[in-house]
A and B are shown apart, each in its own frame.
Chain A
Amino acid sequence: MAKYLLIESRDAFDSKDTTTYGALAADLARDGNTVTLFLVQNGVLTARPSTQAAVLTAAIKAGVEVLADDFSLRERGIPVSRLVAGVKAAPLDTVIDHLAEGRKALFH
């Protein structure tokens, strides 16, 4: 199976399509692929526990690794200690690592 990097720059409060994108990540993982969902920009707003956390929780349950850009978190005053369970902070370098690894990469 393949490895995927799905980058989410939009947040669930602004864009309904983030639900579909998160579901895509989950579907890819359930299909046997290795999937990372990397939140960046306002995408990290969904990483703070809120009414919109369900899409991330579902992705994690499906086996998706969910990471949040540490700079985007700090920029928005979201402490690493206060993220949706299972979401980890990570440097943006991770995206370059995954690109260099050859993962199929999508930016939403």
Chain B
Amino acid sequence: MAGKKLTFALMDSAFESARTTTAMRLIDIAARRGYDITVFAYEGAVMLPFAKQEQHANKVHGREVEEENHPLPRKFIASMMTEAKKNGGSLDWINCGLCVDERGAGEAIEGVRRGAPPDFWKAAETTDNTLVIATR
């Protein structure tokens, strides 16, 4: 199945919805298969690759920072970019520019680029399929 190209549109911000976990799981499967993946992050989803996410301790769990090892979406995304490339594919993450501006989310991890709705349409037209995972 190598050589397939998929597009995803996401809307949820980090830490707010199980939809984000499902989206990450799907992207991970595609990355392991070496697909060329395009993600159009719309609205809150532009916070997913925000570079300033940081882990913290968790006194309720009784764990310090390292042991708690709190998930950070930016790390998942960076790791999946590497995974896709390792398997002959790619993960092109596009943050909707106006959504970035209104949220002050300009500092994203390396490999994320700024885009606009026409980029989503172009990706949808030029890839094998597109899945929209909207918010509620």
Contacts and interface: CB of A to CB of B under 8 A. Distances in A.
Interface string A20-54: 00000000000000000000111000000000000
Contacts of B22: 9, 40-41, 92
A97 B6 CA distance: 11
Interface stretch (A59-67, A82-90, A99-107): A99-107
A41 B19 contact: yes
Interface residues of A, number: 18
A100 B131 CA distance: 11
A100 B4 contact: yes
A105 B131 contact: yes
B25 A99 contact: no
Contact of B131 (A41, A42, A99): A99
A87 to B, nearest CB: 18
A105 B129 contact: yes
Interface string B99-136: 00000000000000000000000000000111111100
Contacts of B60: none
Interface residues of B, number: 20
Contacts of A100: 1, 4, 6, 35, 128-129
A41 B132 contact: no
A103 B26 contact: no
A12 interface: no
A76 B30 CA distance: 25
Contacts of A42: 18
A96 interface: yes
A92 B29 contact: yes
Nearest to B27: A96
6 contacts: A9-B22, A41-B22, A96-B29, A102-B129, A106-B132, A107-B132
Given A41-B18, A100-B1, A102-B128, 20 more contacts: A41-B21, A41-B22, A71-B25, A92-B22, A92-B29, A95-B29, A96-B6, A96-B33, A96-B35, A97-B1, A99-B6, A99-B131, A100-B4, A100-B6, A102-B129, A105-B129, A105-B131, A106-B132, A107-B132, A107-B134
